[in-house]
Structure 1
Amino acid sequence: MNQALIAGALSALLAVPAYAQKAYGPGASDTEIKLGQSTPLSGPASAFGAGAGRAVVGYFEMLNAKGGINGRKINFTQLDNAYSAPKAVEQSRKLIEDVGILAEVGTIGTAPNVAIQKYLNAKQVPQLFITAGGRRFNDPWTIPLYPDFETEGRVVAKYILTAKPDARIGVLYQNDDYGKDYLKGLRAGLGPKAELIVAQASYELADPTIDSQIVQLKAAGVDTLIEQSSSKAAAQSIRKVYELGWKPLHVIGGSTASVETILKPAGLEASKRLVTTQFLKQPGDPAWANDEEVKAYKEFLKAYAPSANPDDYSVLVAYMNVHAVELALRKCGDDLTRENLMKQATSLNGERLPMMLPGVAISTRPGDYTPFRTLRIATFDGESWSLTGAPLSAD
């Protein structure tokens, strides 16, 4: 045989392993990928965790029924953290040290994610696509998949400057990163017009009621109430504003815009004319009744998570989240190391996931994991949310 041909053949053979070689980190093998999550299946945020948790489990069951990801089945472990910071740390330790997962995915809420962030980063375990929007979630091993609250505040500011440029703004916010990041973004978005904020009131997560704060803001002559509250406080404020006969332009955070878990308990009549930000299609909105993605979403829940309410906002967010987890894992190919998973998850460019609203996409890049930069404004008509205007960028 010609020496040149032999040399060429040998070179080709030697080159193959460089491209075909498999690499595995903890929790990954030829046959499976171990993932884990702690979520509030009980406790004060169980309204968010139970349905969303079932949707995540169902999604991985569906993927496994179709052959898994790149031929590997997902071995998924879900533990209850009761929305308690110490419990969340305990469950993360169990997932890492006992179960041996590749990554913790989709953990819900600011408080649990803050609690586990230091531990997971120290262990160099991906804290992947979490459902929390604080600016602090930009560590080397922590990636959010939710509009960060500072971005949301900036978008709301843009909306107010157009919809009510002479507003007398009162702000109600939770006294932690969840509320403070939003307020920071709101002030930054208002810029020189930040003087429109004439009053602000905070509350602690453990406070039994926020009635006094609502009364205080009304007494300050506020005609535009902007709030970043968690579930119980948001429902209370909507109800209290209604009972007082107060009719401000009332903007609530996107994370508390669930018709099922927030607005119905507060009262649908009391919720009329609320304004919020959105980035996902609302399954209960008649405008999307014949949308193929909405149909697929409902069919998935019917088959794999029948106890989950398709109109529950937390379920919808979880559905988007696991699509992103699947996307990042598929991009990893046969290099299933924690380092490569982070590389793929932080190199998304204009990706549109199922159920995202028109004009909304996610992009991440090394050093800045902020996934969403554009949101939509929606108004509640007493039955469902309706989009208002064009997409608004926080930039």
Structure 2
Amino acid sequence: MSQHTFTRRVAATVGAAAAVVVALAGCSTPAAPSAGEENVPGVSDDTVTIGTHTPLTGPAAAGYSSISAAATAYFAYLNDKGGVHGRTIDYLVKDDGYNPATTQTVVRELVQEDEVFAIVNGLGTPTHTAVLEYLTQNEVPDLFVASGSTSWNQPEKFPYTFGFNADYVVEGAALAQYAADEYPDKVVCLLGQDDDFGDEMIEGAQLALGADGLAHVERYSVSNRDVAAQIGALKAAGCEINILGTINGFTALALGTAAKMGWFPMWFSSSSGADYPTLVGYLGEDVGPKLLQGLVGTNYLPSLGGDSDWVSLFRQINDDYNDGAPFDGNTIYGMSVAYLFAEALEAAGENPTRESLVEAVASGGLAGNGILPLSFGEDSHAAYLGVGITAVDQGVQDYVGATYAVDGGTVTSVDPAPVELSGEGVPGS
């Protein structure tokens, strides 16, 4: 069981009120800036400079390196439309190789040398955890972390940090609840990364199924690309549905290893490891589509296989500003994050400060482009507390109609409420 339990979720609401009295210790939402504040890091008369850390090389690169490129393409599109309050956005992307030590180095470069206005969509649970305290101490807005760890939702401890992904507890609970609803007699197991990612997927699954609801659990490390022992143990345990708390490369590795054993159970994956085009890239065009048929996943953004106006816009931006790079779920993710930052920057005012940017997010006034409302507020730094269930059918990955939310430790079925595209995807237009 993860140390990040639902007790902390409830405590966050109470703790936020108590945090006001210790603001000088850096444990409250930042105060409003004084009038006429000048020399804001990363903000000039015509540019806002922001940065990120992401794996352009290393074990996670093939699954995630396209995210920052997609965000950069959206910002180029936005800049051609006039930017935000007359300022263009300059997005500095630094490779950390999915290595926490490297993350510390590049984030310090972004803050101290490049003097960025904010860190936006830093990717990875172990990597971003390594810079969380540093960004808090330096009062740098730490927006829309690319990880579902519940660590980002601690407003009383990390007032500048906000998540973007639906958290792993939510995803684990939704996948397990879907398994219970649709396949009540099947044996459910789980394969998870050996960190908060795996811990919280287990926590969510047990929330839906009960403490003894998972028949078997296996863990893996990203430093070891051999999961034959874990897959063999799941097979021996008679698992029929395997919930995956895996990044894309290890989702493909799990499916490929099982296929070599002649074992073909059902696979239910977190959104972090369920992108169909990315998985086909790992598995190959010859066997990938066959192994991925029926793959169940989660999502909270416009679906690659759907007919959303957001997807149509992002396809066009990808063609025009991203050198025609392959269009997949990571493209949609990267552009969705970039749009949300632009929305926050627009709401931060004509002369934005770091404080006004954080206040804009915490106000609860941002819409984003998800299938459910954003959950940001003074007492919540989580973006999405619910997800839709997706499935792959003949190469198309789309929503199947089931949508779940987690509220107060309870998993409930909810109706999606997709945000409609407006203003050509340019906030404030």
**Which category describes the TM-score, using the shorter chain as reference length?**
0.7 to 0.9
SS in 1 for 2:123: coil
**Sequence identity percentage:** 27
Cα deviation code 1:38-97 (max 9, x no counterpart): 222222222234322222222222222222211122233222222221111111111111
Q: Distance in 2 between matches of 1:369 and 1:293?
A: 24
Instruction: Give 3-state SS (helix, strand or coil) of 2:77's partner.
Output: helix
Note if 1:296 corresponds to 2:313: yes
1:218 CA drift (Å): 0.9
Match of residue 200 from structure 1 = 217
Structure-to-structure mapping, 1:149-160, within 5 angstroms: 149-160=168-179
User: Are residues 1:376 and 2:393 paired?
Assistant: no
Q: For residues 308-357 of structure 1, give each alpha carbon's deviation from its aligned partner in whole angstroms, at most 9, with x where no partner exists.
A: 3212x22221111001100100001134221221111122257241xx34
| Equivalent residue for 2:75, pick from 56, 60, 83 | 60
2:275 aligned with 1:258: yes
1:134 to 142, 149, 155: 149
Q: Secondary structure at the match of 1:268?
A: helix
- Aligned 8 A contact 1:23 1:336 in 2: no
Cα distance between partner residues in 1 of 2:168 and 2:97: 23
Equivalents in 1 of 2:102, 2:368: separation in Å?
A: 34
Moved more, 301-310 or 242-251: 242-251
Pairing partner for 1:189 from 208, 223, 226: 208
Where structure 2 has 5 or more consecutive residues not aligned to the other structure, the ranges are 1-33, 408-429
2:152 is paired with a residue whose SS is: coil
**What amino acid is aligned across from residue 279 of structure 1 in structure 2?**
Y
Equivalent AA in structure 2 for residue 297 of structure 1: F
> 1:156, CA displacement in angstroms?
1.5
Three-state SS of the structure 2 residue aligned to 1:83 is coil
Cα distance in 2 for residues equivalent to 1:74 and 1:233: 34
Q: How does 1:107-122 map to 2 (within 5 A)?
A: 107-122=122-137
Which residue, out of 401, 404, 423, partners 1:392? 404
> Which residue in the other structure is 1:246 paired with?
263
Shift of 1:136: 0.8
Which residue of 2 is the match for residue 161 of structure 1? Answer: 180
* Post-superposition offset of 1:242: 2.6
- State the alpha-carbon separation in 1 of the partners of residues 227 and 160 from structure 2: 36
Q: Give CA-to-partner distance per residue, 1:231-250, whole Å, 9 cap, x none.
A: 22211111122333333232
Larger deviation, residues 149-158 vs 28-37: 28-37
Task: Please show how residues 5-16 of structure 1 align to structure 2 within 5 Å.
Answer: none
Please say if residues 206 and 213 of structure 2, whose CA atoms lie closer than 8 Å, have aligned partners that are also in contact: no
For the Cα contact (< 8 Å) 1:167–1:196, is it kept in 2?
A: no
Residues 214 and 78 (structure 1), Cα distance of their counterparts in 2 relative to 1, 3 Å cut: same
Matches within 5 A, 1:84-103: 84-103=99-118
Q: Determine the C-alpha separation between the residues in 2 that align with 1:195 and 1:232.
A: 29
State how 1:4-83 maps to structure 2 within 5 Å: 22-24=36-38, 25-83=40-98
Q: Deviations over 1:110-157 (max 9, x none)?
A: 222111111111111011111111011122121111111111111122
CA RMSD in angstroms, aligned pairs only = 2.0
Contact 1:23 1:334 in 2 (8 A): no
The structure with the larger Rg is: 1
Query: 2:311, 2:332 within 8 Å by CA — same for their partners in 1?
Result: no
Q: Is 1:282 the counterpart of 2:303 in the alignment?
A: yes
Report the Cα distance in structure 2 between the residues aligned to 1:36 and 1:225, rounded to whole angstroms: 36
User: What secondary structure sits across from 2:92 in the alignment?
Assistant: strand
Distance in 2 between the 1:42 and 1:111 partners?
A: 16
Q: Which 5+ residue runs of structure 1 have no aligned equivalent?
A: 1-19
